[in-house]
Amino acid sequence: MKKIALVTGATSGIGKATAIMLAGCGFNLIITGRREERLAELKSQLEIKYKAEALPLCFDIRNRNEVCNTVNNLPEQWKNIDVLVNNAGLAVGLNHIQDGLFDDWERMIDTNIRGLLYITRCVAPLMIKNRRGHIINICSVAGKDVYEKGNVYCATKYAVDALSKAMRIDMLKHGIKVTNVCPGAVETEFSIVRFKDDTAQAKATYAGMTPLTGDDIAGVIKFAISLPPHVCINDIVVTPASQANALIIDRN
Ligand code: NDP
Ligand code: 8X3
């Protein structure tokens, strides 16, 4: 029987690349996001190209009732989740703290922290029941160092970093691995979202450098999940070769 992975935020970027990688590795996929058409397209791609079964779940991860009702009512054949990739997330705005917008802050906190917690709270008991599983939390270099104007986004990723450590302790006796993945600059829709559809500003984020791609991060996740049962990668920081950390990028 094929293993099952649940990837949040599979409609774009890192999540989509990860879902495709996992299908290529022989997993059946539960894919989530708010954009229903994209989920449907990805489902067809996974089924036709990779012969994987795919279950699209369309919800806003900030909506606790929607998340819990959906995951708690999964069809029986989808309940044995082996890998959970907590990927859905975003940055909105880039402002000094005194200029920040409450709506931006709440979107980031509700998505990156609360959403991740809602999903994990619903999926972890299913893994515990099976005494196996691997939770991959997509954190960021922004969860390791803070940078100017990054304030609230960085705070949400510091929270993810802390939650990965906490989950690893709580899951230890249940045989469930927890891996924190901290990417640097990855060219996805991330900057388009951060800069609220200002595509020129989004593009400038990656000027003079070769950013990572979603596939690069999927490759790192593939490595983490393919290690033997007694080996757990706790924390991976992965940046473009021209990026030292969240603060320092060599642009030429
Ligand atoms: P994208 O914008 O390309 O993808 C974000 C994904 O998150 C989409 O599938 C989106 O789906 C989903 N998402 C966002 N908000 C919600 C919501 N409220 N409910 C459900 N799903 C939601 O960005 P990335 O692929 O780059 O980002 C993925 C993760 O990687 C994020 O956690 C981000 O913080 C992290 N990261 C990104 C880096 C980068 O440089 N790109 C670097 C380090 C970390 P939909 O819109 O359909 O709901
Ligand atoms: C995304 C990377 O450096 O823009 O998490 O915060 S950064």
Q: What is the pLDDT of residues 103-149, one digit of tens each?
A: 999 999 999 999 999 999 999 999 999 999 999 999 999 999 999 99
Residue at 169 is within a domain: yes
Q: What is the spatial distance between Cα 220 and Cα 235, in angstroms, rounded to a whole number? A: 11
- Find the domain containing 161 and state its range: 4-238
Q: Is 88 in the pocket of ligand 2 (CB under 6 A)?
A: no
Residue at 244 is within a domain: no
Q: Look up the CATH number of the domain holding residue 81.
A: 3.40.50.720
Residue at 188 is within a domain: yes
Please tell me the total count of domains within the chain.
Answer: 1
pTM: 0.99
Residue at 210 is within a domain: yes
Residue nearest to atom 5 of ligand 2 (CA): 140
Q: Alpha-carbon torsion 112, 160, 38, 211, what sign?
A: positive
Q: What is the spatial distance between Cα 111 and Cα 67, in angstroms, rounded to a whole number? A: 12
Residue at 249 is within a domain: no
Please list the pLDDT of the chain residue by residue as tens digits (252 residues): 999 999 999 999 999 999 999 999 999 999 999 999 999 999 999 999 999 999 999 999 999 999 999 999 999 999 999 999 999 999 999 999 999 999 999 999 999 999 999 999 999 999 999 999 999 999 999 999 999 999 999 999 999 999 999 999 999 999 999 999 999 999 999 999 999 999 999 999 999 999 999 999 999 999 999 999 999 999 999 999 999 999 999 998
Question: What distance in angstroms lies between residue 142's CA and the mean position of ligand 2's atoms?
Answer: 5
Residue at 172 is within a domain: yes
pLDDT, tens digit, for every residue of 204-226?
A: 999 999 999 999 999 999 999 99
Secondary structure of 111-136 in the HEC alphabet?
Answer: HHHHHHHHHHHHHHHHHHHHCCEEEE
* 153 among known catalytic residues: yes
Give the CB-side neighbour count of residue 171, counting CA atoms within 13 A.
Answer: 29
Q: Is 142 in the pocket of ligand 2 (CB under 6 A)?
A: yes
Question: What distance in angstroms lies between residue 153's CA and the mean position of ligand 1's atoms?
Answer: 12
Residue at 120 is within a domain: yes
> Which residues are CB-contacts of 123 (< 8 A; sequence separation ≥ 6)?
6, 71, 81, 84, 135
Residue at 248 is within a domain: no
